Protein backbone atom coordinates (compact mmCIF):
# COMPACT_ATOMS: atom_id res chain seq x y z
CA UNK A 1 0.00 0.00 0.00
CA UNK A 2 1.29 3.45 -0.93
CA UNK A 3 2.28 5.45 2.14
CA UNK A 4 0.71 8.87 1.56
CA UNK A 5 2.00 10.18 4.89
CA UNK A 6 5.50 10.57 3.54
CA UNK A 7 6.60 13.83 1.91
CA UNK A 8 5.84 14.05 -1.80
CA UNK A 9 8.65 13.37 -4.22
CA UNK A 10 10.21 16.02 -6.45
CA UNK A 11 7.36 15.79 -8.96
CA UNK A 12 3.79 14.55 -8.98
CA UNK A 13 4.70 12.21 -11.87
CA UNK A 14 7.20 10.47 -9.60
CA UNK A 15 4.50 10.17 -6.93
CA UNK A 16 2.25 8.46 -9.49
CA UNK A 17 5.07 6.17 -10.62
CA UNK A 18 5.98 5.05 -7.10
CA UNK A 19 2.33 4.65 -6.08
CA UNK A 20 1.69 2.27 -9.00
CA UNK A 21 4.99 0.43 -8.55
CA UNK A 22 4.22 -0.20 -4.87
CA UNK A 23 0.99 -1.89 -5.95
CA UNK A 24 3.09 -4.17 -8.20
CA UNK A 25 1.86 -2.57 -11.40
CA UNK A 26 4.42 -2.57 -14.21
CA UNK A 27 4.85 1.17 -14.87
CA UNK A 28 6.90 3.29 -17.30
CA UNK A 29 7.30 6.90 -18.30
CA UNK A 30 6.65 7.86 -21.91
CA UNK A 31 9.19 6.34 -24.30
CA UNK A 32 10.62 3.79 -21.84
CA UNK A 33 8.71 0.59 -22.70
CA UNK A 34 10.16 -1.46 -25.56
CA UNK A 35 8.76 -4.44 -27.41
CA UNK A 36 5.39 -6.11 -27.56
CA UNK A 37 2.93 -6.17 -24.68
CA UNK A 38 3.27 -9.56 -23.00
CA UNK A 39 1.71 -8.55 -19.66
CA UNK A 40 -0.34 -5.55 -18.46
CA UNK A 41 1.54 -2.30 -17.95
CA UNK A 42 1.01 1.45 -17.57
CA UNK A 43 2.64 4.44 -19.25
CA UNK A 44 2.51 7.86 -17.55
CA UNK A 45 2.22 10.86 -19.90
CA UNK A 46 2.05 14.54 -18.90
CA UNK A 47 -0.23 16.54 -21.18
CA UNK A 48 0.79 20.00 -20.01
CA UNK A 49 -0.51 22.61 -17.66
CA UNK A 50 -2.75 25.65 -17.85
CA UNK A 51 -3.49 28.53 -15.50
CA UNK A 52 -6.62 28.24 -13.40
CA UNK A 53 -8.61 31.41 -14.05
CA UNK A 54 -9.03 33.53 -10.94
CA UNK A 55 -6.41 31.64 -8.89
CA UNK A 56 -2.63 31.73 -8.60
CA UNK A 57 -2.44 28.05 -9.58
CA UNK A 58 -1.94 25.82 -12.58
CA UNK A 59 -3.75 22.60 -13.45
CA UNK A 60 -1.74 19.81 -15.04
CA UNK A 61 -3.36 16.93 -16.91
CA UNK A 62 -1.76 13.49 -16.71
CA UNK A 63 -2.77 10.54 -18.85
CA UNK A 64 -2.37 7.01 -17.56
CA UNK A 65 -2.19 4.67 -20.55
CA UNK A 66 -3.24 1.14 -19.54
CA UNK A 67 -2.10 -1.69 -21.83
CA UNK A 68 -3.02 -5.38 -21.89
CA UNK A 69 -1.93 -7.99 -24.47
CA UNK A 70 -4.06 -8.12 -27.61
CA UNK A 71 -4.73 -11.82 -26.99
CA UNK A 72 -6.43 -11.05 -23.62
CA UNK A 73 -8.57 -7.93 -24.13
CA UNK A 74 -11.05 -9.06 -21.46
CA UNK A 75 -8.37 -8.30 -18.81
CA UNK A 76 -8.47 -4.58 -19.61
CA UNK A 77 -11.39 -3.68 -17.33
CA UNK A 78 -9.87 -5.61 -14.43
CA UNK A 79 -6.47 -3.99 -14.94
CA UNK A 80 -7.95 -0.48 -15.25
CA UNK A 81 -9.87 -0.98 -12.00
CA UNK A 82 -6.63 -2.05 -10.27
CA UNK A 83 -4.85 1.08 -11.54
CA UNK A 84 -7.70 3.37 -10.44
CA UNK A 85 -7.78 1.75 -7.01
CA UNK A 86 -4.02 2.26 -6.60
CA UNK A 87 -4.22 5.92 -7.59
CA UNK A 88 -6.85 6.58 -4.90
CA UNK A 89 -3.95 6.58 -2.43
CA UNK A 90 -2.84 9.90 -3.94
CA UNK A 91 -6.09 11.71 -3.13
CA UNK A 92 -6.42 14.65 -2.71
CA UNK A 93 -3.10 15.42 -4.45
CA UNK A 94 -4.26 13.73 -7.66
CA UNK A 95 -7.82 14.00 -8.96
CA UNK A 96 -9.52 11.61 -11.38
CA UNK A 97 -11.27 13.83 -13.92
CA UNK A 98 -13.47 10.95 -15.12
CA UNK A 99 -12.71 11.54 -18.77
CA UNK A 100 -11.53 8.10 -19.79
CA UNK A 101 -10.78 7.81 -23.47
CA UNK A 102 -12.12 4.69 -25.17
CA UNK A 103 -10.15 1.57 -25.99
CA UNK A 104 -7.58 1.59 -28.78
CA UNK A 105 -5.86 -1.34 -30.47
CA UNK A 106 -2.14 -0.56 -30.70
CA UNK A 107 -0.79 -2.88 -33.40
CA UNK A 108 2.76 -1.60 -32.86
CA UNK A 109 2.98 -3.29 -29.44
CA UNK A 110 0.22 -5.89 -29.92
CA UNK A 111 -1.97 -4.45 -27.15
CA UNK A 112 -5.33 -2.97 -26.29
CA UNK A 113 -4.97 0.38 -24.54
CA UNK A 114 -7.28 2.62 -22.50
CA UNK A 115 -6.42 6.15 -21.42
CA UNK A 116 -7.33 7.45 -17.95
CA UNK A 117 -7.08 11.18 -17.25
CA UNK A 118 -6.09 12.75 -13.94
CA UNK A 119 -5.18 16.28 -12.89
CA UNK A 120 -3.32 18.02 -10.12
CA UNK A 121 -2.87 21.63 -9.09
CA UNK A 122 0.20 23.63 -8.23
CA UNK A 123 0.63 27.10 -6.80
CA UNK A 124 2.38 29.49 -9.14
CA UNK A 125 5.62 30.57 -7.52
CA UNK A 126 6.61 34.08 -8.59
- Burial tier of 75 (Cβ tally within 10 Å: 0-12, 13-18, 19+): middle
pLDDT given for residue 2 in this prediction:
47
Digitized pLDDT (tens) for each residue of the chain, 126 residues in all: 445 555 544 688 999 999 999 999 999 999 899 999 999 999 999 987 777 777 777 788 999 999 999 999 999 999 999 999 999 999 988 999 988 788 999 999 999 999 999 998 887 776
pLDDT given for residue 90 in this prediction:
92
Beta-bridge mates of residue 100:
none
Domain edges within the chain: 12-123
Distance CA 87, CA 95 (A): 9
Full-model pTM: 0.86
65 torsion bin: left (phi>0), alpha (psi -120 to 50), beta (else):
beta
Q: Which listed CATH number (3.90.1410.10, 3.10.310.30, 2.60.120.330, 3.30.2000.30) goes with 12-123? A: 3.30.2000.30
pLDDT given for residue 73 in this prediction:
93
pLDDT given for residue 48 in this prediction:
77
Give DSSP secondary structure letters for 7-24: PP-SSHHHHHHHHHHHTT
pLDDT given for residue 66 in this prediction:
97
**Nearest Cα to 67, choosing from 35, 106, 102, 18?**
106
Please, how many CA atoms are within 13 Å of residue 19, restricted to the half-sphere of its CB?
26
Amino acid sequence: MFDGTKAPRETRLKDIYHCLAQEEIDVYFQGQHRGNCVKPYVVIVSRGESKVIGYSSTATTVEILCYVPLKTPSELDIFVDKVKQALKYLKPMLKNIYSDIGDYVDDDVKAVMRTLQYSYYRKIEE
